[in-house]
Amino acid sequence: MSAAVPYPQRPLTHVYDAAYSGVPNWDIGRPQRAFVWLADAGLVRGPVLDVGCGTGELSLFVARQGHDVLGIDLSSLAISQARQKARWRQIPAQFLVLDALDLPALAARGFSFRTVLDCAMFHILGASERDRFIAGLDTVVEPGGLVCLLGDARRQPDAIYGITPAEVRRRFGDGWTVLFAYETVFERRWSTNPAYFVGLRRS
């Protein structure tokens, strides 16, 4: 009898690599406006972790503000493109191929962060994956640290795709305080979707 697998397998990396062999609809060539607002408000503090960083536009933007930044993504092709951008623009952001559900692996290597930025990663996860991601945050976010989630607004109450502030508040639970939650948009190359931007402070 095989050993039990505690969590379902993540989507295959070749799906994401295939997307990044071109220019995905979600890669708009700049950070989403919600994160520009966050930086302008002085709420980003380093070191910063950018989960599901894709080709690195958000990481590079934050690094240009003078913060130490690590971007992680499941796609090795996306990370390769992010590293190329960093070299071409001479921006000292760091990038690593890593599943955002494996944050304890970063903690085991001595990493900790004062800010974690999630641009449209959490909103695609399944229910158990969301809980696993939050458990991983507990291992790398410093006390007083900030986690910010931008995701498409959930359209159907019984759907898993998308987010609502109420669900985020419930899933994070004790030990986290919601600092802000507001309606915004998630921009794509050819469209925009209603979205929520939620910030949580760790106790």
Q: What are the pLDDT digits (tens) for 7-41?
A: 444 555 665 655 566 566 778 999 999 999 999 99
- The pair of structure tokens assigned to 57 is 């536009």
107 pLDDT more than 60? yes
Confirm whether 20 is domain-assigned. Answer: no
User: Between 6 and 125, whose confidence is greater?
Assistant: 125
Question: Do residues 44 and 31 touch, judged by C-beta distance below 8 A?
Answer: no
- What pLDDT score does 47 carry? 98
pTM above 0.75, yes or no: yes
Confirm whether 84 is domain-assigned. Answer: yes
Confirm whether 4 is domain-assigned. Answer: no
Mean pLDDT for all residues in the chain: 91
- What pLDDT score does 111 carry? 97
Instruction: Give dist(CA 149, CA 189) in Å, integer.
Output: 20
Secondary structure letter of residue 31 according to DSSP: -
Confirm whether 180 is domain-assigned. Answer: yes
Query: What would the pLDDT profile of 151-178 be if each residue is shown by its tens digit?
Result: 999 998 888 999 999 999 999 999 999 9
Which domain CATH number covers 182? 3.40.50.150
Instruction: Give dist(CA 57, CA 40) in Å, integer.
Output: 16
Question: Do residues 81 and 13 touch, judged by C-beta distance below 8 A?
Answer: no
Confirm whether 12 is domain-assigned. Answer: no
Confirm whether 47 is domain-assigned. Answer: yes
- The pair of structure tokens assigned to 47 is 């070191």
The count of domains in the chain is 1
Confirm whether 126 is domain-assigned. Answer: yes
What would you measure as the largest C-alpha separation in the chain, in angstroms?
55
Instruction: Give dist(CA 69, CA 47) in Å, integer.
Output: 6
Confirm whether 129 is domain-assigned. Answer: yes
Q: Which residues constitute the domain of residue 119?
A: 27-202
